[in-house]
Amino acid sequence: MKLLNFILPIVLLSQGAFSAPDTDDPCAKIAGKSFSLPRDVQACYKSFPFNETIRQNVLTVVSRVFDFYTFEDFYTKLPDPFEGSTVKIRETIDRINKTEYSNDYHFMKDVYDFTLRMNDGHTRFLMSCYTAYQNMIPAPLISLWDAKRQEHGVFIAPNSVELVSLLGEAYYGYYDSIGFDWKRLAGAQVLAIEGADPYDYVDRVADWQTGNYLDHGVRVNSVFTSYRISGGQFSQRLGDLAGPVDISTADLTFKILFPTTTEPEDVTIPYYANMIGTAFKDKVTFWNGNCKADKSTNGIDLRPSNGTESNRRDRKRFGPEASIHDPSHMEAIALPEPYLPTAPTVVGTTDVIKSYVLPGNQTGVMYVSSFGGDYYSFQLGVAASMWSFQQAGVTQLLIDVSNNGGGYVCLGHFLHAWIAGLGDKGYAGFDSTNRANPLAQKIVSSAIDQNLDSSWLFYAGNNWAFTNGTRMYPWYNYMDPTINITVNGKDDKTSQRLHDVCDLSYIIDIPTEPTFNLSNVAIVSNGLCSSTCALFSTSMSEKHKTKIAVFGGKPGEEMEYRAMAGNQVMDWPDLDTEIKTTGLKSDPLAPPDLIVKANMRHNWRTAYGSSESSEPLAYVSARAAYRFPYTRETYNNPQNVWSFAASELFPSSE
Ligand SMILES: *[C@@H]1O[C@H](CO)[C@@H](O)[C@H](O)[C@H]1NC(C)=O
Ligand SMILES: *[C@@H]1O[C@H](CO)[C@@H](O)[C@H](O)[C@H]1NC(C)=O
Ligand SMILES: *[C@@H]1O[C@H](CO)[C@@H](O)[C@H](O)[C@H]1NC(C)=O
Ligand SMILES: *[C@@H]1O[C@H](CO)[C@@H](O)[C@H](O)[C@H]1NC(C)=O
Ligand SMILES: *[C@@H]1O[C@H](CO)[C@@H](O)[C@H](O)[C@H]1NC(C)=O
Ligand SMILES: *[C@@H]1O[C@H](CO)[C@@H](O)[C@H](O)[C@H]1NC(C)=O
Ligand SMILES: *[C@@H]1O[C@H](CO)[C@@H](O)[C@H](O)[C@H]1NC(C)=O
């Protein structure tokens, strides 16, 4: 054995010495490893030269997709309290077009950060290339209320050892190897980060790295660790400080007060990055697998004349989606065992819905973690959960929507209609419009000319109903005439007002009476309730005065109960498919195919606050009436959140 130990290093050394090309290839150095140092990942990212062809391609697509963006004119000056997210869209594109970049990474990151800082998760340039790694420190943060000391503080999650252990030795072994004691961080109080007050530093991350949500308080919760459902299982998100998909930070220096000492200590915590992209061997394979456009990057022409009829069936046909994108789902860590609900699940539990009867049999809980997943299972899950609650004799219903990133618009309507007993025909949604730019008008009229209905296109008229509930004909041109509007002094055009048509996709009859007295229904979350979830919560609050409680956020700061009430999102391949299928790809206004693996998604439809109002719902402030700080007992413990919320929100609870 001794001999082997002695020989092995020599063998490795000589291999290194003779495979010279590898040493020049910074991607080969990190290839095949699940974890790498951020500086080594950066070296790989920065090894691709700046390329003018890529810049023109990306900026042309980004710029022409913005022509469809319903909120473009609002961004010249967003209304209070969201004015902090104001971004000069066209000027920024112009600046990026003129900037000198030292490599492709710097260019792409600039485009990525520009759209990220609009804080509209529906409208983002997402690139696969330079989000192939998730940076991580073994110190997920959380703001906790200490009832004994009557104060808030930022802490390293008390369960960080249990959580980080689940990442495996490939991760924490690195800290052991450099003699860094990551275990003693658990539960310690953070007094400063990089010399700043911890809440100020969290604000900085919320404003510069989180994106996705207009409301600052919601972004703050995204910086902290939280429970969620990912891939059908309870998971604990590291948060945007401990687990960003951005490898530009090598380490952070914390001033930490350990429970056993009285003097704070400066501790520098290095990041260690997890590969979440496509496996590669070297620079060339990194580029081909992660950066180069592949067959799903762009849209396709669905018409049979271009190939086969089967093209049409490739397209998912469950209707409009409104959701945000959280890449940290790619390597989700489980919620450690001790924090899982102890109440047994009841019939009705699915991948995205987890249903329970709390001890005492008074309260039914439905954790609706998403409006996505399987379209039909969702409907069956709602129906069966409500049946289970009735069987158990519960009288109050608590709905948890923590970290619900949205999903199918019609499933939001479905859940609302079921709880409120609206029957199949009751309309639970909002008025909406899309933008009638010249190319959109051509798409709608070209679809009519070619008899392409909603089985082909999102732009076809029979996707929608008039505001009186009558479904539009497929050949109805809802952009002729347009509605002419003025936003921030700029003239623009939208389509006529649209209602969703959802009842056709329901597989179960919705009751015409509420299952529970609506005053005994409440919603709870961490505010990260986006898109379809935001529309659902708004309907419940406005139409039925449902109590909505939000946990966490920044102490002392107001907070919204919803995030991104935009409405339907169009991912780039879907928009491109609309353009190609209507034969308009060669139109001078049409964006070209992307040559890099990326997505320029945008908010394609606006929901309005009411049928009388022209104010987008997204810009109507909706403050949470009930706010609770997280405590050591609740921050990562869903059942403790539910029991506490039930006792606060339902007066009849013991
Ligand atoms: C720039 O990128 C394009 C598209 O990937 C490629 O065809 C071209 O060769 C690149 N130019 C340079 C100078 O590398
Ligand atoms: C970038 O600037 C050049 C030179 O002015 C111009 O030709 C090109 O169209 C611009 N590209 C975009 C995407 O705006
Ligand atoms: C036509 O269909 C083929 C595959 O069926 C696809 O590769 C091609 O990109 C399509 N053409 C257009 C213009 O969409
Ligand atoms: C709650 O319901 C379960 C199952 O029906 C029953 O076993 C239990 O005794 C009930 N608990 C109370 C407090 O009523
Ligand atoms: C609903 O409105 C549309 C458009 O104005 C109209 O054509 C249709 O007849 C109306 N339907 C009903 C039932 O009034
Ligand atoms: C909006 O303006 C266009 C001309 O740009 C006009 O044709 C159309 O009728 C106007 N729409 C309404 C509803 O006034
Ligand atoms: C619902 O509950 C409220 C408050 O407890 C009560 O005032 C109301 O009468 C109840 N409604 C029905 C239909 O039972």
For ligand 4, atom 1, the nearest C-alpha belongs to: 361
97 lines ligand 2 (CB under 6 A): yes
CA quadruple 501, 507, 513, 517: dihedral sign: negative
311-350: burial string, b at 16+ Cβ within 10 Å, e else: bbeebeeebbbbbbbbbbbebbbbbbeebebebebbebbb
Q: What pLDDT digit, counting tens, does each position of 29-86 carry?
A: 999 999 999 999 999 999 999 999 999 999 999 999 999 999 999 999 999 999 999 9
Can you give the length of the chain in residues? 654
Residue 493 CA to ligand 6 centre (angstroms): 8
Residue 97 CA to ligand 2 centre (angstroms): 6
The CA–CA distances, whole Å, from 326 to 11, 128, 145, 536 equal 43, 13, 27, 20
| Residue 612: predicted pLDDT | 87
- The answer to whether 510 and 417 have CB atoms below 8 angstroms apart is yes
SS3 content of the chain, % helix, strand, coil (to 5): 35, 20, 45
593 lines ligand 3 (CB under 6 A): no
Q: CA dihedral in degrees (48, 51, 55, 61; nearest 10)?
A: -80
- Rounded to whole angstroms, how far apart are CA atoms 131 and 63? 22
Burial class (CB in 10 A: 0-12, 13-18, 19+), 615: middle
Q: pLDDT category, 159, cuts 50, 70, 90?
A: very high
Burial class (CB in 10 A: 0-12, 13-18, 19+), 79: middle
For ligand 3, atom 13, the nearest C-alpha belongs to: 301
Residue 546 CA to ligand 7 centre (angstroms): 13
Residue 469 CA to ligand 5 centre (angstroms): 8
Two tokens, residue 434: 């899309």
Looking up tokens 């960080």 gives 160
Q: Which amino acid is at 553?
A: G
| Residue 513: predicted pLDDT | 96
Ligand 4: residue of 357, 361, 388 to mutate (most ligand atoms within 8 A of CB) is 361
Residue 361 CA to ligand 4 centre (angstroms): 6
| Residue 592: predicted pLDDT | 98
Q: How many helices (H) and strands (E) does the chain have?
A: 19, 27
Ligand with minimal distance to 58 CA: 2
468 Cα nearest atom in ligand 5: 1
467 lines ligand 5 (CB under 6 A): no
- Give the mean pLDDT of 16-22: 45
| Residue 566: predicted pLDDT | 85
- The answer to whether 222 and 161 have CB atoms below 8 angstroms apart is no
φ/ψ of 210, rounded to 5, equals -80, -50
Q: What pLDDT digit, counting tens, does each position of 222-260 carry?
A: 999 999 999 999 999 999 999 999 999 999 999 999 988
Q: Which residues line ligand 6 (CB under 6 A)?
A: 481-484
Three-state DSSP at 633 gives: coil
Region of 406 (left: φ > 0; alpha: ψ -120 to 50; beta: rest) is: left
Rg (CA), the chain: 26
545 lines ligand 7 (CB under 6 A): no
- Give the mean pLDDT of 469-488: 96
- Find, among 525, 558, 556, 554, the residue nearest to 154 by Cα: 554
Q: What pLDDT digit, counting tens, does each position of 523-576 carry?
A: 999 999 999 999 999 999 999 999 999 999 999 999 999 998 889 999 999 999
Q: Which amino acid is at 156?
A: I
- Find, among 497, 465, 453, the residue nearest to 479 by Cα: 497
Ligand 3: residue of 297, 298, 301 to mutate (most ligand atoms within 8 A of CB) is 301
How, if at all, do strands 233-237 and 251-257 pair? unpaired
- CA within 13 Å, CB half, 169: 1
Ligand 1: residue of 48, 50, 51, 294 to mutate (most ligand atoms within 8 A of CB) is 51
Three-state DSSP at 40 gives: helix
The CA–CA distances, whole Å, from 438 to 156, 286, 449 equal 52, 39, 17
Q: What pLDDT digit, counting tens, does each position of 376-407 carry?
A: 999 999 999 999 999 999 999 999 999 999 99
φ/ψ of 387, rounded to 5, equals -65, -45
Query: Mean pLDDT score of the chain, rounded to an integer?
Result: 93
Two tokens, residue 191: 């007094």
Ligand with minimal distance to 495 CA: 6
- Rounded to whole angstroms, how far apart are CA atoms 551 and 44? 40
- Rounded to whole angstroms, how far apart are CA atoms 184 and 162? 12
| Residue 329: predicted pLDDT | 81
Residue 52 CA to ligand 2 centre (angstroms): 11
| Residue 315: predicted pLDDT | 60
- Rounded to whole angstroms, how far apart are CA atoms 595 and 576? 13
Per mean pLDDT, which range of 14-28, 91-105, 430-444 is the poorest?
Answer: 14-28
- Find, among 474, 483, 449, 443, the residue nearest to 606 by Cα: 483
Residue 53 CA to ligand 1 centre (angstroms): 6
- Rounded to whole angstroms, how far apart are CA atoms 111 and 77? 21
Q: pLDDT category, 11, cuts 50, 70, 90?
A: very low
Q: Which residues line ligand 1 (CB under 6 A)?
A: 51, 53-54, 595
Residue 316 clears pLDDT 70, i.e. is over it: no
Domains and CATH numbers, the chain: 1-302+314-327+567-619 (no CATH), 341-423+510-565+622-649 (3.90.226.10), 431-505 (no CATH)
Q: What pLDDT digit, counting tens, does each position of 90-113 carry?
A: 999 999 999 999 999 999 999 999
- Rounded to whole angstroms, how far apart are CA atoms 347 and 325? 30
Residue 424 CA to ligand 5 centre (angstroms): 20
What DSSP line would sit under 378-437, residue for residue? HHHHHHHHHHHHHHHT--EEEEE-TTB-EEEHHHHHHHHHHHHT-TTT---S--EEEB--
Q: In what order do the strands lie in the sheet with 272-275?
A: 35-36, 272-275, 133-136
For ligand 5, atom 5, the nearest C-alpha belongs to: 466
For ligand 5, atom 9, the nearest C-alpha belongs to: 470
Q: pLDDT category, 427, cuts 50, 70, 90?
A: confident
Ligand with minimal distance to 301 CA: 3
> How many CB atoms sit inside 10 A of residue 599's CB?
19
306 lines ligand 3 (CB under 6 A): yes
- The answer to whether 193 and 252 have CB atoms below 8 angstroms apart is yes
Three-state DSSP at 306 gives: coil
Ligand with minimal distance to 597 CA: 1
76 lines ligand 2 (CB under 6 A): no
> How many CB atoms sit inside 10 A of residue 271's CB?
24
- Rounded to whole angstroms, how far apart are CA atoms 279 and 382? 39
Residue 482 CA to ligand 6 centre (angstroms): 6
The CA–CA distances, whole Å, from 260 to 191, 194, 263 equal 15, 23, 9
466 lines ligand 5 (CB under 6 A): yes
φ/ψ of 550, rounded to 5, equals -120, 130
Give this prediction's pTM: 0.93
CA quadruple 155, 161, 164, 170: dihedral sign: positive
- Give the mean pLDDT of 332-339: 96
For ligand 7, atom 7, the nearest C-alpha belongs to: 519
Residue 21 clears pLDDT 60, i.e. is over it: no
> How many CB atoms sit inside 10 A of residue 624's CB?
25
- Rounded to whole angstroms, how far apart are CA atoms 72 and 61? 15
